[in-house]
Structure 1
């Protein structure tokens, strides 16, 4: 029996230091690069990102980035100048990454094999030249494939969208 609580925690604001880290993660920077830029350790980056996830009620770096965009804690990226079109499969893949679904959760929801789910994420990252999954989420917001309507996270948390926008 799972001990994971399925409640809706209040989204807590991230600190300015946490937001500096999340902004760099959203831009696709690696943990080592962020640590070097901010002159802090890789361990500190990892701990701060874990705390960010706890405050937001999500799991995973991509979900932290998405949650920060939804809750208005990170400035949303400018819309992409190019208007590419994306298949339903690509949009579904983007959404699964954004909500923090594991590859197995994605596979189960999409009724596909786990390796197929992994392949879909990899293919989308390659198509868009995304550095990693958090960067893929940022690009999803830029292409307006992702937005504040996606609030149901894989963790069971429902994100709170600010009303004063």
Structure 2
């Protein structure tokens, strides 16, 4: 098999793209492996390589970068299925960019327990247990755009306090 047949037009290996697409929909490495006909360790390896390729620190950040770079197709828009509290909305950029609870609490000046609770409730409100799936659902429900994903990466690395709220879409009723 030639290199050209193993990569797409972006030069990204097709397997990496396939793995990121499956992870974007909240599947574990084990379930992704079953779907893709790979071993879970191979899925993990492709996911790690995809993250390194885009300089991402975690799977949610990898998925975000792949959406921003248009390496995977955007999900079909759907009406928002949940309403988020201000505390949950404030955390959305940090979850999308794979920040830990401790990093979020430190950067936002909030108690760790509050950040943990709001993150869990955010994921429950969106109906997922996976941070990469939060990225997909945020795009799907119109809670974020690819432009916001791009902007949030700098906000997440620089913000202190609640200044991040300016980059979030207005609350939906």
Calculate the TM-score normalised by the size of structure 1. 0.78
2:148 alignment partner in structure 1: 149
Structure showing greater relative contact order (alpha-carbon pairs closer than 8 Å, 6 or more residues apart): 1
Report the CA distance shift for 1:155/1:95 in structure 2 as closer, same or farther (over 3 A).
closer
1:53-100 CA-to-partner distances (Å, cap 9, x unmatched) read 111111111111111111111111122134754333222211111112
- Structure number with larger C-alpha Rg: 2
Aligned mates of 1:145, 1:74 — CA distance in 2 = 18
Maintained 8 Å contact 2:60/2:98:
yes
Displacement of 1:27? 0.8
Displacement of 1:14? 2.8
Maintained 8 Å contact 2:98/2:131:
no
How many aligned residue pairs are there? Answer: 145
Unaligned 5+ segments in structure 1 are 1-11, 157-165
- Further displaced range: 110-119 or 145-154: 145-154
**Partner SS for 1:72:** coil
Unaligned 5+ segments in structure 2 are 1-9, 159-173
Aligned mates of 2:42, 2:137 — CA distance in 1 = 26
Decide which structure has greater helix share: 2
